Structure formats: structure tokens, C-alpha cells
Amino acid sequence: MKEPEIKPSETSAGKLPSHVAIIMDGNGRWAKRRGLPRIMGHHAGVRAVERTVRAARDMGIKTLSLYAFSSENWKRPESEVSGLMRLFRMYIRSRVELLLKEKARIRFAGRLDDLPVDIREIIREAEEKTESQEGLQLVICLNYGGRREILDAVNKASSSGEIFPLDENSFRKYLYLPDVPDPDLIIRTSGEMRLSNFWLWESAYSEFFFTEKLWPDFGPDDLEAALKTYGRRERRYGSV
């Protein structure tokens, strides 16, 4: 059977994006400006996640994906990485019951097998408990790298006995979350203007919104501003 084609959402000017993705940048700088340890910036970033998830749900976004920890972030100081892992444990555990109450589903994308065993178990339980929910779909990109995802997909296709050459549809099913639509809008905070290895395959026709706001200061008004900018754009997907 032919695999169903997943296309970017058919949104037009004035309409909401179906999938919003956010590169949450600036936690360290936020802390530094206040004379605080970097980990305190990450704690403030978690509060921004909570605000943004609620706002996305209230605004009618169907899928929200967050770049929480890249495959390159392991190079950070050990104390910071350990602090981040503790935050992930705390956040995922505490979020599950609230997601169930809000009819939301949580999913994870990345090389999850490389994470600590207890975090992998927490992730598995969270995904299983919320699997049947039909509200907001929250995707956490954890130990994620876009180039690595593409290489993993190629290797999976090769080892599966897939018939080459592949087309886009047959390749897509080997991505981490092949059923998640491509992001319509990618937001990056902190003034940086690059993808940083995020959703490389999936972002081919994404719109971008950059803000100087550091992630811990990001809130519903900033999300609304990004959505309004998106709503004024005309998406052509390569056509004239």
C-alpha cells in the first residue's frame, strides 16, 4: 500500500498554522544578565514553556514542537547537562496529569535510546498515558539533531530492505515522527537567525519568525505576534 503523503497544512493568509515549532534560545543569557547560574535560566525557561503550551492550546494550534535539547548540547559543562536532565525528569513527570486533563498528547523526537534509562522510562510512560488524547499535540525534541535524523532514516531504510531509489513519501516513514505534519511556522527567540540543526527535512517550506526576546521572557503576546505575522504571509511552496 502506498504511504499517505504528508503535506504542509493548507493554511492561507489570516489562518492559523497547524504546527508551530519553537527553538527556545536565550536561557543562559537571561541568567547571566541577572548574575544567576545558567541552570536558573533553564528553570525560568520551563515557566515559559508552561505559558506557551497553554497559549498555543487556547489559540487553537494543533501541534506545538519545542527544541529542548540538541544532540550537540552534550558538549555543555557536565553540571549544566546534569541540571537539564533533572529538569526533564521533573517536567515530564509533573506535566502528564495536566496533559490528560487538557486532552493533550505528548510525544518525543530524537535519539531517545541515548538518554539515561530512567528518563527513557518516564518518556515511555508519558507517551503511553496520553496516546489517545485528541487535543494539542506537544512534541518535545530531546537529544535531537536534524542531520542525525536524516542519517538514521537512511540507515533504517537500508537495513529494512527498502527498494531504492526512494521518493519523499517512502523516505518519510523512516523519520522519527513521520505522521507529524511539517511545521508551518518556526519561531526562534534571542535574536539568533539560524535553524541550529532543527527539523532540517521537515522545514523545507516552513515560515520563520525571529524575535529578540530571550526564551524565559517569551509569552502569549509574543506567540500571538508571530501568528499574526504568519497570517499575513502568502505561502507558495515553490510556485510563482
Q: What is the pLDDT of residues 56-71, one digit of tens each?
A: 999 999 999 999 999 9
Q: 187-233 pLDDT, tens per residue? A: 999 999 999 999 999 999 999 999 999 999 999 999 999 999 999 99
pLDDT at 12 > cutoff 90: no
pLDDT at 73 > cutoff 60: yes
Determine the pLDDT at residue 74.
Answer: 96
Determine the pLDDT at residue 4.
Answer: 38
- Domain 36-146+168-194+211-229 in this protein, CATH class: alpha beta
Q: Kindly list the domain boundaries of the chain, sorted by start residue.
A: 36-146+168-194+211-229
pLDDT (mean) for 23-48: 97
- Nearest CA to 60 out of 140, 136, 7 is that of 136
CB 93 within 8 A of CB 47: no
Counting every residue written for the chain, the total comes to: 240
Say how many C-beta atoms besides its own lie within 10 A of residue 196's C-beta: 13
pLDDT (mean) for 98-103: 93
pLDDT at 135 > cutoff 90: yes
Sign of CA pseudo-dihedral 73, 184, 137, 223: positive
Q: Which residues are catalytic?
A: 25, 73
CA distance 135 to 36: 37
- The band of 7, judged by pLDDT with boundaries at 50, 70 and 90, is very low
